[in-house]
Each structure stands twice: as structure tokens, then as C-alpha cells.
Amino acid sequence: MGTTTRRAVARRGAAPAEPKHWQLRTALTDALDAEFSVGQVLPDERTLAARFGVARATLRQALDQLELEGRLQRRRGVGTTVAPPRVGVDVSPARQAWPGADDDPWTVTGRALVRPPAAVAGPLGVDPAGLLPVVLRDLVADGQPVATERLYARPTPPADETVTAEELLAALRRQPLEGQDRAVELGSADARQARDLDRLPGSPVLLVTTRYTTAGRVAALSLATYRADTCRLTFGDQPLTLT
């Protein structure tokens, strides 16, 4: 075996070095468990960087990771605090109910007629250049906003500015619901989502897309944004924590 080949084998067999920010994340986790309580504000970045002997860029990477894991929260005007346990939110499709049913925990906050994004117009089979009704809803748990939703519906009959959000939801519930499916992915809060969820732009969020079908086609599509730092999504009896 030549020298080059031996070196390649050695490189493949060696465990990769742990990044510095991950080492710091472990040290910060130990400090959170030993020294801080839920809701307590952490020292500023300069103080933390000096305490652990790292650059502030490395510290921010570690703090970002702990926020993604739900251990920390960053709040406007407050700073970085120790997060409470995540709130369990059931997103199981087993309920098989239209939005706005009697036991629906979401609260309507408004409605609008908008040009739908391509990701909505395609599944609904509508003209992306036309106007589509959207119902705006929020989900609150333990007194804090945990999710915001934009629910797009194919209007039946065609909607106008006089149709209320409640009327749109009622029109959906009059149709036989054949099924629903959901997809979950990790994303970052844009300016609107950050404002609605009391987060900072770029904060980690969970994006849940739900399609409601009737008569063999998609009748409504929900784009819901959940706070990744406070939400633990569950599917039926099987909990799923996304970090």
C-alpha cells in the first residue's frame, strides 16, 4: 500500500474533530442546568465570551444551537433567557376535521384577498395572477403565541371583500372532507412571522403545510409557522420533537 493510500485510509478512519462551538454548547448546557432557572436572563455576549474564553462569533453559534434545541429564547427588549419546557402541539391528521370546527384551538385574526404564492396556487389549481381568500389565524398556548397560520381556500362561490373569515370557514365545513395530509420542515422566520410570533427575524421555526381534500382535489391549504423554541409537535400518540 502506497503512502498516499495509507494516509487516505487513516483520514477515513479518524473521527472528525468536534467543532469549537459544539464544545461550547456542551459547556453552556451544563451551566444552564447548574446555575440558571427558567426565565432567567443570561449575561450579555461579551461577558459570556470572556467567561468561556471564546470569540463572540463562536458564542453566537453555540447560542443559536441552544435556541434551536429549545433551551434558550431570544426576546426583543429582554435578551436571551432560559426557555421553559416545550409546549406539545398535536398536528395529527387523525382528527379529520375542517379548520374552524367547534374544538379547533386556533383563533381567527383576519382575512384578505391576495395573489397566492406558487406553492399554494399549484395544489389548489387556481390562477396565481388572480385573487384568493386567505384566513389569518393564531394559536396561543400557556398565554404565549406559538403559531401563526395563513389558510388559503378555493372560494365556493367566488369570494369578494364582503365575505368574512367565519363565512369562508363555514363554506369549507359544508363540504365532505375526504382527507388531509401534512408536511413539516425547518425554516427561519421572516419579518412578518417574527412579528406575529414575537421572535427575531431569522429565528428557527417549524413550517407545517396541510392540504385538505374534497371531491378528489385540494380545497384548502394551510401554511402554519410554529415557534421551534417552544413547540413540540406530536402526531397522534407518537411525540416528535424537531430540533
What is the value of pTM for the model shown?
0.71
Average confidence score pLDDT of the chain: 83
Lowest mean pLDDT among 6-20, 32-46, 154-168: 6-20
Residue, of 52 and 156, whose pLDDT is higher: 52
Query: How confident is residue 15, by pLDDT bands cut at 50, 70 and 90?
Result: low
Q: What is the pLDDT of residues 91-148, one digit of tens each?
A: 776 666 899 888 888 999 999 889 999 999 999 998 888 888 899 999 987 777 889 9
**Interatomic CA distance for residues 223 and 226, integer angstroms:** 10
13 has a pLDDT exceeding 80: no
Structure confidence at residue 138 (pLDDT): 94
Give yes or no for residue 238 having a pLDDT over 70.
Answer: no
Domains of the chain: 3-82 (1.10.10.10), 87-239 (3.40.1410.10)
pLDDT confidence band for 243 (50 / 70 / 90): very low
**Unique residue bearing C-alpha cell 448546557:** 29
Instruction: Identify the bridge partners of residue 172 per DSSP, sorted by sequence position.
Output: none
Give the H/E segment covering residue 30: helix 20-35
Residues 198-215 have a mean pLDDT of 88
Query: Residue with C-alpha cell 409557522?
Result: 225
Per-residue pLDDT reduced to its tens digit, 71-90: 888 877 788 899 887 777 77
Peptide bond into 157 cis (omega under 30): yes
Q: 56-68 and 45-52 are packed helices; what angle lies between their axes, rounded to 10 degrees?
A: 100
What mean pLDDT do residues 148-172 have?
81
Measured between its terminal Cα atoms, the distance across the chain in Å is 44
* pLDDT band of 156, cuts 50, 70, 90: low
What's the rounded mean pLDDT across residues 146-153? 93
Which pLDDT value is given to residue 149? Answer: 95
Q: Say if CB 210 and CB 177 are below 8 A apart.
A: no
Residue 174 to residue 160: CA distance in whole angstroms? 19
Predicted confidence (pLDDT) at residue 7 exceeds the cutoff of 70: no
